[in-house]
Structure 1
């Protein structure tokens, strides 16, 4: 498979990631994050997925080798920080951007893996890593519960569904760009549906051994 992800697609994902990350961080006013902190978090969301993906694939990180990547990510983070005060109720926008960014990075990761000869299962894993990497790095920096491990988010499920759809469609002969768009739609749809309809996995609970309940 000789398909190569166009640089503009990578830059689009980076730009939206930086915007979403900065909007998210700027909205966390109770944490008193300064201007530099907001930009750093925007960069983390923008660059985290690509960086982890390329490490897993043992490839030179695109965020280092392409000059435009850091420039676009940084500019988008600054833009997000500037726009946040104008968006008094930005929660919905942040959630939608988050879902779209996940879909973009998932599609890029899975298609890159396939182009390098990675097997179907491995390509799905790489797609998931690319999709959730930025959000995971954001949560670590901000000291928040890791999103994809948190009850009610279905981050990994959405990313996995999208990446698996891309791998399946390309295996059936669908052009990779078309499969990538479908991957984005599936990922975003599952993620947003989980938010709107409250879809969750059952919460893990400790199992009590028999005989632990004793009458007084």
Structure 2
């Protein structure tokens, strides 16, 4: 595959960072039983906002863009503070956190996959980079809060939604679709699949359930 210029506009990356910081802070501020202080809420907001980009760039052997360009930290930090301030007002709107999480996954997945393609990786590598970008922030959040890693447990197709969106982007780009159009489709696919899985409780069978079936046979 030929190398092409990275075509994601800075404002889109900053939008993803801002929404990630907002969602992470809302999530952390809602964990009142853990008694997280103000600094902790901001740190978790930053982890969700910047974690996916950081892990993506490490995997792609690129300078971490979140450290080299000041706007990422400024936007992510400000969004985290905003999320912490708004949490008491939005405490009863659980769907907002899930919705923001789905959109942030889609945005970071699209950015990760398109950046990998621009660097000349293969289609499989771009898919992996997109998934890492999409779930990296949530993974760091879970590690910091000592929660079960979201994409490893029986749940609502967390990594599958990220992979589906990134996969669609890669296929569309290979077929000649412009990156902006493919990116929008990626975000829509990831968001819709994630929200549908939450709404209808779609999951993969638990490993123990499969083993029990095999034993019964």
TM surpasses 0.5? yes
Question: When the two structures are superposed, what TM-score results if normalisation uses the length of structure 1?
Answer: 0.95
Q: Which residue in the other structure is 2:13 paired with?
A: 10
Alpha carbons 1:107, 1:163 under 8 Å: kept: yes
> C-alpha separation between the residues in 1 aligned to 2:153 and 2:88?
28
Query: 1:145 is matched with which residue: 148, 152, 174?
Result: 148
Do structure 1's residue 123 and structure 2's residue 126 form an aligned pair? yes
Q: Which has the larger radius of gyration?
A: 1
Structure 2 residue aligned with 1:26: 29
Cα distance in 1 for residues equivalent to 2:90 and 2:168? 34
Partner of 1:97: 100
Q: Which residue of 2 aligns with 1:214?
A: none
SS of the aligned residue for 2:8 comes to: coil
Whether the 8 Å contact between 1:3 and 1:176 is mirrored in structure 2 is no
Q: CA RMSD in A?
A: 1.5
Contact 1:84/1:90 (<8 A) preserved? no
* TM-score calculated relative to the size of structure 2: 0.94
Distance in 2, matches of 1:195 and 1:6, equals 30
Does residue 1:68 correspond to 2:78, yes or no? Answer: no
Offset of residue 153 of structure 1: 2.3
What does the per-residue CA deviation read over 1:149-193, in whole Å, with 9 as the maximum and x for residues that have no partner?
A: 121221110000000000000111111000000000000111101
Matched, 1:203 2:185: no
Aligned residues: 211
Q: Distance in 1 between matches of 2:192 and 2:155?
A: 15
Report whether the alignment pairs 1:86 with 2:89. yes
Partner of 1:170: 173
Is this contact kept in 2: 1:123–1:167, CA < 8 A? yes
**Shift of residue 90, structure 1, vs aligned partner:** 2.6
